[in-house]
Amino acid sequence: MSEIKKTIWKIKKKETEFSEEILKDYSLAVLNLLKHRDISEKEEIANFLYPDYERDLSDNSFYLEVEKATERIALAKKNQEKIAIFGDYDADGVSASAVLYETFSILGIKNVICYIPDRQTEGYGLNKNALKYLSQKEVNLIITVDCGITGFQETKQAKKLGMDVIITDHHYVPEKLPEALTVINPHIPNSNFSFKDLAGVGVSFKLAQALVKKIDPSKGESLKWILDLVAIGTIADCVPLVGENRVLVKYGLIVLSKTKRSGLLEMFKVGRIDVSENNIPNTQTVSFQIAPRINAAGRMDHANVAYNLLIEKTAILARDMALELEIRNQERQKITAEIAREVEILATNSFKEKKFIFAMSEHWSVGILGLVAGKIMEKFQKPCALFQVQADQLVGSFRSIPQVNIIQLIEKCSDLLIKFGGHSQAAGVSLKKENVEKFYSKMNELIEKEIFGKDIRHFVEIDYQIQPEEIDWNLMNEIKLMEPFGVGNKEPIFLAEKMIVVDCKIVGNGQKHLKLSLRGENKSPKIFDAIGFSLAEKFPHLKKNDKIDIVFNLEEDEWNGNKKMQLKLINLRII
């Protein structure tokens, strides 16, 4: 038997107890997929498959923290005060900044600047030098987006400098909150947000909705044209695509297909990204083609290029920015691969018996560390932390396996840190050089304790064991209704057993991919096309007439206007 590394196949329970009324409308396969998402009642199913913008987005405008923010911004508009949007340098923060800036423009709030810190020299979030600069620019009000929740000293400094601070964030909430004018974060206990898992851009959009309602409700329809930015930031930040995020992304992808933004249109041309009204992008298009280009600005140089691209109205200027992002993204890919190879060797030789990979170098670029840490975590199935060594401190990124909530463990080491922030699976920290050994030792101890007794083997979770005769266009169309797919609503994974290989080819650059024709063992005339990316070297002896079990996604493949179903192989076993 051949198979991809030591992968465990876990098959979810197959449910059969559904009412005849529901079985008339939906296939057993899709009802199982929905049941595993705790969706089983007729109305729940309809609401999930057919989300509605007006029905499904809650009104947060009357919540106390939101009311305080809208009142202060309305006062700033009335008094023509200067407002600074303080963003983050990733795709979520950049898009969140653009959402707020465009909302201000819609509402006629003109005295606005945007400040995004330099990842290399300033690091994440509010900082004292930035506040000093904003004070010199005579800013009266700072609104943070996608950051600020741990800016304790900085908010105090802003107040001393005569600037009010409104914090909008979605990251892990510490026990104590900064002394800002108001803090908007759905994760704050008793925040009243009905949906908690918004991205930074989602929180920014909710504030935008509340602002429009307060200042000029007639502009409400205009906000829908900002949903392309909301979709990009939400997908890029890997928040669960359920609840309100599902609605924002579903409609945002439609708006993205019709976008009139010069910056995005030029990005699509330069990057050869196929997005149009006739080709609505999916979450993978955003995750692997659009978001990396936006992120490349902050990783390789400064995020201002990406921010300016999103708000630029002139096509000629936008093209220059799109070309610059393309170059930055290519550089990012090259450097990421180089550092990843270096860390892989280190992880193999020095951390083979350890539960936590921890490495540092003065030569590594801060902007790349999160990407590399993610790749190393995936390969070795261990939490990983990578740091750039600077003059007097270390700045780095964590990526963690699902079994370890890394931000909670980092908070337990907060006395050793200069700054930290993030989520359960991804975080950033900075610490003084003299604390490195203590920090590593304590984190290693905490991680080993957290992992003890848990099954951390690599596994594929299979949603449904399917029979070949169940695979048809009705099922394909039902699955498309479940989109957008992402965290919290992953693309369904199927298992089909005892499939016969009718044809087998090795294709693609470097002969890396398997292209198969398959049929069920019952000699059914139905033949399925299957593609297994990067599987050829794993199964060099696979041949015609072999019998295999396959784990796959069911996808629609279109070529020259012709549509067909395709099985995208994740894993297989030769019987």
User: Could you report the per-residue pLDDT of 62-73, keeping only the tens digit for each?
Assistant: 999 999 999 999
Which CA distances in Å does 551 have to 34, 264, 441?
A: 19, 36, 40
Q: To the nearest 10°, report the CA torsion of 279, 282, 288, 289.
A: 30
The yes-or-no verdict on residue 523 having pLDDT over 90 is no
C-beta separation of 482 from 555 below 8 A:
no
Burial of 383 (0-12, 13-18, 19+ CB in 10 A): buried
Tokens coding 454: 């848990």
pLDDT in tens, 395-440: 999 999 989 999 999 999 999 999 888 889 999 999 999 999 999 9
* 446-451: long-range pairs with CB below 8 Å, 24+: 446/409, 446/412, 446/413, 447/355, 447/356, 447/383, 447/404, 447/409, 448/355, 448/356, 450/403, 450/404, 450/405, 450/409, 451/355, 451/403, 451/404
Comparing C-alpha atoms, which of 299, 413, 303, 286 is closest to residue 358? Answer: 413
Comparing C-alpha atoms, which of 464, 469, 575, 462 is closest to residue 528? Answer: 469
Query: So what's the pLDDT on residue 190?
Result: 86
> Between 3 and 217, whose confidence is greater?
217
Query: So what's the pLDDT on residue 2?
Result: 38
The yes-or-no verdict on residue 218 having pLDDT over 80 is yes
Query: So what's the pLDDT on residue 570?
Result: 95
82: how many CB neighbours lie within 10 A of its CB? Answer: 16
Query: So what's the pLDDT on residue 511?
Result: 85
Query: So what's the pLDDT on residue 4?
Result: 40
Backbone angles phi, psi at 365, to 5 degrees: -80, 130
Tokens coding 433: 């050089």
Residue 410 CB contacts under 8 Å (≥ 6 apart), including other chains: 398, 417, 420, 422, 427, 429, 443
For strands 8-11 and 459-462, give the pairing. Answer: parallel
- Alpha carbons 511 and 186: distance in angstroms, whole number: 48
- Span 371-388, mean pLDDT? 95
C-beta separation of 72 from 179 below 8 A:
no
C-beta separation of 167 from 155 below 8 A:
yes
pLDDT in tens, 452-474: 888 777 789 999 999 999 999 99
C-beta separation of 161 from 132 below 8 A:
yes
Residue 206 CB contacts under 8 Å (≥ 6 apart), including other chains: 60, 66, 184, 193, 198
- Span 9-37, mean pLDDT? 93
- Span 169-198, mean pLDDT? 93
Rg of the chain on CA atoms, in Å: 25
pLDDT in tens, 96-146: 999 999 999 999 999 999 999 998 888 888 999 999 999 999 999 999 999
pLDDT band at 524 (very low <50, low <70, confident <90, very high): confident
503: how many CB neighbours lie within 10 A of its CB? Answer: 12
What structural domains and CATH numbers belong to the chain? 8-15+463-574 (2.40.50.460), 55-257 (3.90.1640.30), 261-337 (no CATH), 351-451 (3.10.310.30)
Side by side, the strands of the sheet bearing 357-361 are 357-361, 384-389, 393-399, 426-432, 417-422
Among 89-93, 307-311, 340-344, 455-459, whose mean pLDDT is lowest?
455-459
HSE-CB at 393 with a 13 A cutoff on CA atoms is: 15
User: Over pLDDT 90: what percentage of the chain?
Assistant: 86
In 362-452 the beta strands, taken as DSSP E runs, fall at 384-389, 393-399, 417-422, 426-432
Query: So what's the pLDDT on residue 6?
Result: 59
Helix (H, G, I), strand (E, B) or coil at 364: coil
Q: What is the 3-state secondary structure (H, E, C) of 313-351?
A: CCHHHHHHHHHHHHHHHHHHHHHHHHHHHHHHHHHHHHC
Residue reference for tokens 């169309």: 477
Backbone angles phi, psi at 304, to 5 degrees: -55, -35
pLDDT in tens, 4-18: 445 789 999 998 889
The yes-or-no verdict on residue 3 having pLDDT over 60 is no
C-beta separation of 569 from 550 below 8 A:
yes
- Span 292-315, mean pLDDT? 95
HSE-CB at 351 with a 13 A cutoff on CA atoms is: 20
- For 31-75, give the DSSP string: HHHHHTTT--SHHHHHHHHS--HHHHS---TTSHHHHHHHHHHHH
Return mean pLDDT, the chain: 94
- For 76-131, give the DSSP string: HHHTT--EEEE--SSHHHHHHHHHHHHHHHHTT--SEEEE---TTTT-SS--HHHH
